[in-house]
Amino acid sequence: MNKEQKQFLLSSLFSGIMIGIGCTVYLSCVNKLVGALLFCAGLFFILTNVGTLFTGICGLKTPVKKLAWVFLLNGLGTVIPAIVSWSNVVDGATKLGATAAAVMLGKLSMNPVSWLLNGLMCGVLMYLAVIGYKKAKDSLHGIAAVLFAIVGFIVCGFEHSIADMGYLAIAIPNLSFWQILQCMGMILVIMLGNVFGGKLMRMVLVDWQEKDA
């Protein structure tokens, strides 16, 4: 494994860990808005430390093989913070795991079209967050772009595939094997929505402008 491959591996895992921590913080907050604001910290760490996040690059011209590896490594990264939550057992169950399980079961109650569309809208906002941060004139504008996108997708209930993997990882001790499989299938649909949303925004903001130039 060369230096570039190691950097890719570590940056993808790092991003997953940051999202996993963000999920843990969000589930621990009673107030949804406060949780959304704190969740933003995870993305800030990723952006400022040149992390590799699936929803941040899926709208860009990224090879499918690389996207697949980032998706898997991000997902693996979310498991690391979740393992800590598994150790906090009260009366045979994890308190945070019960909350995460309720969240995931609530998502399962929706139909696949809703998963896809909510994933698409999250993909749109995540593309705007990453591009807005990178092209911001100053740090204030960059922070505003991230806050708008992250708080927006959380408050609106849009679906972020990597965050959902984080919630699922926390919920695992409180779910049956069949429920875990259902959640994994749901996340794959959401992932496709994230990709479609990111690609759509690139088409609107970049590709069409290049054609008009």
- For 128-178, the pLDDT digits (tens) are 988 888 888 888 888 888 888 888 888 899 999 999 999 999 999 999 999
Q: What is the pTM of this model?
A: 0.90
Q: pLDDT tens for residues 194-203?
A: 999 999 998 8
Domain ranges of the chain: 3-212
What architecture is domain 3-212?
Up-down Bundle (1.20)
What one-letter code names the amino acid at 148? Answer: F
Residue 92 has pLDDT above 50, yes or no: no
Three-class SS of the chain: CCHHHHHHHHHHHHHHHHHHHHHHHHHHCCCHHHHHHHHHHHHHHHHHCCCCCHHHHCCCCCCHHHHHHHHHHHHHHHHHHHHHHHCCEECCEEHHHHHHHHHHHHHHCCCHHHHHHHHHHHHHHHHHHHHHHHCCCCHHHHHHHHHHHHHHHHHHCCCCHHHHHHHHHHHHHHCCHHHHHHHHHHHHHHHHHHHHHHHHHHHHHHHHHHHHC
